[in-house]
Every structure is written in structure tokens, then in C-alpha cells.
Amino acid sequence: MADLSTSLGRLRLPNPVLTASGCAAAGKELSQFFDLAEIGGVVTKSIMLRARSGRATPRMAETPSGMLNSIGLQGPGIDSFLAHDLPWLKKTGARAVVSIAGGHTDEYVALAKRLFNHPVDLIEVNISCPNVESRGQVFACDPIAAGRVISAVRRAAHPNVPVFAKLSPDVTDIGVIARAVTDAGADGISLINTLLGLEIDLDTLQPALAGVTGGLSGPAVRPVALRCVWQVHQSVPHLPLLGMGGILTGQDALRFLLAGASAVSVGTAVFHDPSAPVRILRELDAELDARGFRSVADAIGFAHKSPEQRAALLGRPSETVPA
Ligand code: RRO
């Protein structure tokens, strides 16, 4: 059995499989299917300052090998989250990664301050929701705006709590955005958020989503996500990455580690297999073992390494490792 432990900045995790934001609120529904403390952590739905009902319905549409969502940041707001959801989640023994979202830098700062005295293991700063009122609010599309939000949150958050920036794939060069948030003080990067998409309903001859556009997730986006992890690892090699996008199996999770992720989030898969995170964790363990990896740490970024480094990590002569 491989050593599955990993870290996201100063946060140590027993294993590298977490849930993905937005696919299971604060984890209560998933806890009917498995022990939340068994996985690396639970990433909450992005929380905002005030309760929101989100966009009009329909707000989900199936697409080939994926789905579109146009939820529009529905949620209970920070007061209810701190009073009910977070205490409940921590009582399960799970590590709590709290995703925060806002329309302005001040809102992100206010959220980070509200979280200061609560048991939060990591803050994921969602600057990449595609379902906001204007594209100008997708801060992750602009290196200056992205850096501004992240540096303000880093200053406001508890110094012991890692701050991760969640990036969008819908940019020309994700490496530029990654460097901007790193320079702004991000302790790590989560990627990717959904890609902006659209579906037309042939019965109504109208867009399938009331919000017209939505975020594409699921296996359809996995190669895009993997490419983003690869590029960001090259751009900021020392920064821990939380990789996600269409992960359905342990093999998928392993691909993200090899491309440079220190841990992965499982999202869309839970809609048809609610215990996917624990299944993927078991499968990942077997996949590591089958390839001679003694630890998750040895697999992180492995695909970027030279043949000599790869041979040393696997404890094998270099001529037995594929060039
Ligand atoms: O709530 C949403 O519509 C949503 C969010 Br906050 C996000 O970050 N990504 C997404 O696909 N949907």
C-alpha cells in the first residue's frame, strides 16, 4: 500500500481525494453514503455574504460526456453557514475547505474575516464562477483583478489557513493568471472551474438553460483540466495544486497527480455515484501500487521529470523506465 498522505500548503491530508465545490453543498447528503473523514477533505459550495436563491430554472442540462450548470451561486449566506453547516461538517471529523465568492474584493475580504475564528482547514477563493451577472466579475480572467482579490484575502485570512485561488480555463494563458495569484500571496491553486458553454433545446428551439449560458463539467472537460494543471505546474512549479475536472476513476486521479496536482477534487461524478470519492481513493491506491509508486508524493509532477529522476523515484534502473 502506498503512502497516500499529501499536503496543500501547510495543510496535511491523509490522502489526496477531496470533493469538488458546488457538487454536494457542505457534505450532508454525501455523508449518507460514506464517512466524510475518510477522504482528504470536503470542499463546500461557494459561500457568499448573503443568502441567494440563484438563477431561474432550468439550471442543469445534460451534454455529451458532461453537464452544464447555471446555478448562480445559490446558498444560505455566511451567517447560516457558520451557525449550522460548518459546525456540522467539522463534527464529522472531515477537513473543511471553505469556498468563498463575492462580487467585489470587499466581499471576499469580509468573508475571510468572518471565517477567521472558525475551524476552517483551507480557504478556496472562487474567482472563476462562470454564472455571474457580468464577465467583469470573473476575476480569474484578468491577472490584475485576480491578484487584487487574492492579496486582499491573504491579508484578511487567518495566517495558519492556506488560501487557494480557483482558476478558470477560459483564458488565453492560464500560466499568466497562475503567476499573478502566486505573486499576490496564494498558497496554492485549485483548477479548473467549469468552462462556459451553451445548449439548445430542440423542443423549445431555445437555450436549454434559463440563464442561457452555463458551466460545463464532467469527463468532457478532463483533457482541458489536465492541460491546465500541466501548464500551471510548469508556470509555478513549487505551488501546490488541487486538480479537478471530469475525474471518474482512480486512473483519472493518477493522471492529475502525474501532471502536477498534489490532490484532486471529485465533482460531477457524485451525481451518478455518490460514493465516487471513496471508490476513486481505493482505485488510486491500487493504481499507484501497480506502477511501483511508494507514495503520492513520488507521483506528484512525475510526468514532468527526466528519465533519471523517474527511475530514481521508482527505485528502478533507468533503462527499465519508459523514456
Ligand atoms: O453556482 C454556480 O452556478 C457555479 C459556480 Br459558484 C462555480 O464556481 N462554477 C459553476 O460551474 N457554477
129 is a catalytic site residue: yes
| Residue 179 Ramachandran class (φ > 0 left, ψ -120 to 50 alpha, else beta) | alpha
Substitution candidate for ligand 1 out of 59, 68, 71 with most atoms within 8 A of CB: 71
Residue in 241, 246, 269 with CA at minimum distance from that of residue 257: 241
Q: How many residues are listed for the chain in this entry?
A: 323
Q: How far, in Å, CA of 205 to CA of 64, rounded?
A: 19
**Which tens digits make up the pLDDT trace of 66-113?**
999 999 999 999 999 999 999 999 999 999 999 999 999 999 999 999
Exposure string of 141-159, with b = 16+ CB inside 10 Å and e = fewer, is: bbbebbbbbbbbbbebbee
Q: How far, in Å, CA of 153 to CA of 108, rounded?
A: 6
Q: What is the pLDDT of residue 320?
A: 78
What angle do the packed helices 174-183 and 222-235 form, to 10 degrees?
Answer: 50
Q: What is the pLDDT of residue 67?
A: 98
Cβ-contact 53, 44 below 8 angstroms: no
Q: What is the pLDDT of residue 53?
A: 95
Q: What is the pLDDT of residue 247?
A: 98
**Res. 1 pLDDT band, cuts 50 70 90:** confident
Q: How far, in Å, CA of 272 to CA of 266, rounded?
A: 12
Cβ-contact 240, 260 below 8 angstroms: no
Q: What is the pLDDT of residue 165?
A: 98
For residue 130, whether the previous peptide bond is cis, meaning omega lies within 30 degrees of 0, is no
Catalytic residue among 23, 129, 141, 228: 129
Which residues sit with their C-beta closer than 6 Å to ligand 1?
22, 46, 69-73, 101, 126, 129-131, 193-194, 215
**Which tens digits make up the pLDDT trace of 185-242?**
999 999 999 999 999 999 999 999 999 999 999 999 999 999 999 999 999 999 999 9
Residue nearest to atom 11 of ligand 1 (CA): 215
Is the model's pLDDT at 316 over the cut of 90? no
- Write phi, then psi, for 105 (nearest 5 degrees): -55, -40
CA 54 to centroid of ligand 1, rounded, Å: 10
CA 43 to centroid of ligand 1, rounded, Å: 13
Cβ-contact 39, 281 below 8 angstroms: yes
**Which tens digits make up the pLDDT trace of 236-266?**
999 999 999 999 999 999 999 999 999 999 9
Summary mean pLDDT of the chain? 97
